[in-house]
Structure 1
Amino acid sequence: MIGAAMARGIMMSRILVVSGILFLLSALTLSTCGKGESEAVRHEVKRIISLSPSITRQIIDLDASDLLVGVTTFHPPLPRKIEIVGTMLNPGIEKIVLLNPDLVILSEEDGATQKIDSLKMAGIPLVTLGRNRDFVSLCTNYERLGRILGRAQLAVEKIKAYEVELNRVRRPRSGIGVVFLVSHIPLITVSGESFIGHIIDDAGGVNIFADLRNPYPVISLESLVRRNPRVILVMTQDGDIYLKQRMKKLTGKGVAEPGIYSIATDHIPYYTPADYVASVSIVAELIGRKQ
């Protein structure tokens, strides 16, 4: 039986990743970070709206939830009631304006779909955090967010702790070929340009689609079979069942079937230092089953 939390996680993964990636497949390469936006926060901020569940998680992690006046759907647990301003892909401009924020924070991961021009025209102060390509860039954005929130020292201290934990859970390169699927219909994987690709690296796996240029490329089942992964990780509901059935028909005789595992959406869709470290630990354990 699928519980409410799991159902929420499944829907979140489809909305945050599948729908978002389909919008971003072409847009991310064209988006800009900070052009024409508020690059410097020259005053103390007291009223913040976050347009990303990942940024909301970081704000809470930095003990700054008291500054939040608006968040998007699929937010993490909140310490108090905070206004929902829409979805990550469709924020409500009028609601944002009525909340009169000092600052709206978004990410270049999502910004190409978030009506930035409308927010600019409304005179809303904006800060866009950069793309998250690996743990280092995640921490760079986290530290920048800490400065914006007046939590610079706390951000530095937490990053040091996350670095220690990452070194503890990180695994040496195993040579095991891994495919990570954010969707099974259509098949959308991750390349070396995505932060999930780097999670695979830090977990000791070899991302067999690392060479593709798009961070989240659409692939065919035949290309997946040809690259002969030993581990397939699937983030969508029943994706593991679907892949096991299809792979059995396409895998040749004498060829070992890969280990196909469903992976929970508690951590891996979120681009935060804490979730990155947790994801490395989870992926390393799954890869280890094939060693």
Structure 2
Amino acid sequence: MDTDQDTTAERGRPRRERRRIVSLVPSSTETLLALGADVVACSRFCEQPQLTHVGGTKNPDVAEIVALAPDLVVLDREENRIEDHDALVAAGLEVFVSDVTDLTSALKVVGELARAAGVPDPRVETVPSVDGDDPAPRRTAFVPIWRRPWMTISSATYGGAVLAHLGIHLVAIADDTAYPTVELDEVAAQRPDLVIVPSEPYEFGAAHLAELSEAIVGSRVIEVDGQDLFWWGVRTPDAINRLTAALAPPPTP
């Protein structure tokens, strides 16, 4: 008879206690729920209407979070503000802070969240390979994420790492921040192969797509799921597959 479960404590591996969690990170909320964690509240951007909402990622209701008395509050270095982190810590709450900028950390954080939440470690996932016997040629792209001013992503972001994995490299921008502002004529001068338009954080409409097509002549404009491009965690492997299909070169005539 297998007695491994009966001797867990004796082997120095005590059972985890499932913890009550407030998550202010959409990617983490999705991941935690998929792992079976006890998420008692989240931000209004987490798209979980069944949960209590405690403000936004940049303006959470700290007093309401404290009143919920969670065992853990989940934040992200990029998504959330340091002042909110400090206020939660000052209130005596335990805080977990993720820092995901590439595919390796996107998968690693899943296990970290499981351990922090007191739930079983998930099955180890891998990032799907996109290389075949005849890999697609290297392509360049511009990814607008805001308008007035136009903004984009850099290669130092998770979205940039996802595209690099797909063999798509971002056009060079003079502004070297993670989310630089840019002029469309500066982009057009580089003649990117693709203009990849995510569904979030900005809601681009038909008129905006036409504007991009007219300003960046000759580039193929493709709309993609912004969550697949920017949300990480349990969705990463399947998101890679979906983006691979969405961004595949058109069939050769």
| Cα shift readout 1:87-116 (whole Å, capped 9, x = no counterpart) | 111110111111011111111122336612
Q: 1:262 to 1:184 in 2, by over 3 A?
A: farther
Q: How many residues align?
A: 232
How much has 1:283 moved relative to structure 2?
4.9
Point out where structure 1 has 5 or more consecutive residues left out of the alignment.
Answer: 1-42
How much has 1:263 moved relative to structure 2?
2.1
Aligned residue for 1:142? 110
Aligned residue for 1:224? 187
Deviates more, 1:104-113 or 1:186-195: 104-113
Point out where structure 2 has 5 or more consecutive residues left out of the alignment.
Answer: 1-15
Deviates more, 1:237-246 or 1:132-141: 237-246
Q: 1:68 to 1:201 in 2, by over 3 A?
A: same
Q: Distance in 2 between matches of 1:265 and 1:276?
A: 15
State the TM-score, normalized to the length of structure 1: 0.70
Q: Between the two proteins, what is the percent identity of the paired residues? A: 22
Matching of residues 60-139 of structure 1 within 5 Å: 60-64=33-37, 67-77=38-48, 81-112=50-81, 115-130=84-99, 132-139=100-107
How much has 1:207 moved relative to structure 2?
1.8
* Counterpart among 148, 155, 169 of residue 206 in structure 1: 169
Q: Is the 8 A contact 1:203 1:284 kept in 2?
A: no
Question: Which is richer in helix?
Answer: 1
State the TM-score, normalized to the length of structure 2: 0.79
How much has 1:243 moved relative to structure 2?
4.7
- Of structures 1 and 2, the one with the larger relative CO (CA 8 A, separation 6+) is 1
| Cα shift readout 1:26-45 (whole Å, capped 9, x = no counterpart) | xxxxxxxxxxxxxxxxx845
Q: 1:277 to 1:210 in 2, by over 3 A?
A: farther
Aligned-pair Cα RMSD in Å = 2.7
How much has 1:265 moved relative to structure 2?
3.1
Matching of residues 245-264 of structure 1 within 5 Å: 245=211, 247-248=213-214, 250=215, 257-264=218-225
Partner SS for 1:197: helix
| Cα shift readout 1:13-72 (whole Å, capped 9, x = no counterpart) | xxxxxxxxxxxxxxxxxxxxxxxxxxxxxx8452111111111001012122xx111111
Q: Is the 8 A contact 1:176 1:287 kept in 2?
A: no
